Structure 1
């Protein structure tokens, strides 16, 4: 059970708009870039969307003797092919396994799955692959090169289609251009696994998205070069 600092803990399931993340000027992504939303993580968070701190035996002994990051690799073998597709590392100089170890170290060890990394990653995969958590289905819009979308409209669409407000984050690869970066779905912590009860994220916007009533966000449909590393890809079409 989670007991790092007290307070109510929820889970945030985060999906990355992979193509837009890799248009960020500071992103150095590997090709080919996936043409669908990928998973960033399943994160224990407090009521105000503050992440639960990573496991530390001295300062945050949230679970007794959780499985170490180095020990998860063999346990993930049954779902490795699915993880490679849906939960890949995007950046150069790191492997998919490196990314999974980081996610486990920062979030899994202080989750309700401290000694069950296979179910932690498998349950996250199942969430990401369900129609309910399909980002474009929730957003209610399709990619467009002609029309950006008012951020508040996207938030209201998700509330209508998903049943709860998400958190939407953006990047600004060029001045005045906001691209959707990630969409975070928040779930209540219950005694049952996997999590299934959705709830409003307390913070609805993040990163370069600031004002839902004035921010217009692009979900582009064709390749646009924003990265100094010349990495491009079609905007995501979720699978």
Structure 2
């Protein structure tokens, strides 16, 4: 009887492990991360022309404690069985390559768009709910990012400006009112005392269906150089070149 019980227990453990393997990582939600190029291109050398709209950084599986799911690794993080290799996604993305080049470009000079997509797939797509379907993963991300629902300007309630910084708390409250949930806002600091709004990240619950569509509050509302919503003033610059002879002093004053 004891041996029989042990065999039943072992079978149950094996079945549970298979379920985990099939379902992938036990993550809780996705982050749709959108980048404001003018903020990034102040701290790094970008290709020209610099986009005048938010571009896609990625769609990232994230644990409930707001820690990103680590990249796929067949030894240490086999989150899904036999996901599509990064080197094999290029051909599959051919039908939407034009859209990806426009909306999901690599901004940095030293990397190609394809390099960027491969990295995003390895770091996030392979451990998502699309492990063997890169076309749908990238297509669904494109559709989310291009929908009016996830329009950062509409959510934040502001337009790019070279004259007016915004209290971070106000932007978060605007997003809660206009979008229905608190996003995460990250910042860069090209110069001491200057905070630029670098990314807005919308959080979506993981459900049994794809694409994710149920919005939720992001567990952490600020990141990178943004630290305190009640005191941080951030710029959403209309131009990438921000430090002219007439605005350095006003920038510093507005950020303190």
If the length of structure 1 is used for normalisation, what is the TM-score? 0.90
Q: In 2, distance between residues paired with 1:47 and 1:172? A: 28
- Give yes or no for the alignment of 1:159 onto 2:176: yes
- Give yes or no for the alignment of 1:11 onto 2:11: no
Q: CA deviation at 1:184?
A: 0.3
Q: Which of residues 54, 69, 73 in structure 1 aligns to 2:71?
A: 54
Q: Which of residues 107, 123, 127 in structure 2 aligns to 1:90?
A: 107
**Contact between 1:2 and 1:110, CA under 8 Å: does it hold in 2?**
no
Q: In 2, distance between residues paired with 1:28 and 1:75? A: 30
Q: CA deviation at 1:29?
A: 1.3
Q: In 2, distance between residues paired with 1:223 and 1:90? A: 13
SS of equivalent to 2:163 = coil
Q: Which of residues 146, 155, 158 in structure 1 aligns to 2:163?
A: 146
Gaps of 5+ in 1: 227-239
Q: CA deviation at 1:221?
A: 2.5
Residues 72-221 of structure 1 mapped to structure 2, 5 A cutoff: 72-221=89-238
Q: CA deviation at 1:146?
A: 2.2
**Contact between 2:183 and 2:218, CA under 8 Å: does it hold in 1?**
yes
Higher relative contact order (CA 8 A, sep 6+): 1
Count of residue correspondences: 222
If the length of structure 2 is used for normalisation, what is the TM-score? 0.84
SS of equivalent to 2:34 = strand
SS of equivalent to 2:145 = helix
Q: In 2, distance between residues paired with 1:59 and 1:131? A: 39
Q: Which of residues 78, 83, 88 in structure 2 aligns to 1:66?
A: 83
Instruction: Kindly name which structure, 1 or 2, has the bigger radius of gyration based on alpha carbons.
Output: 2
Please identify which structure carries the higher helix content.
2
* Superposed CA offset, 1:84-133 (max 9, x none): 00000011121100000000000000000000000000000000000000
* Superposed CA offset, 1:161-189 (max 9, x none): 00000000001111111000000000000
Q: Which of residues 22, 25, 35 in structure 1 aligns to 2:41?
A: 22
Q: In 2, distance between residues paired with 1:222 and 1:30? A: 14
**Contact between 1:10 and 1:45, CA under 8 Å: does it hold in 2?**
yes
**Alignment RMSD (CA, Å):** 1.2
Q: CA deviation at 1:148?
A: 0.7
Structure 1 residues 66, 149: closer, same or farther in 2, change over 3 A? same
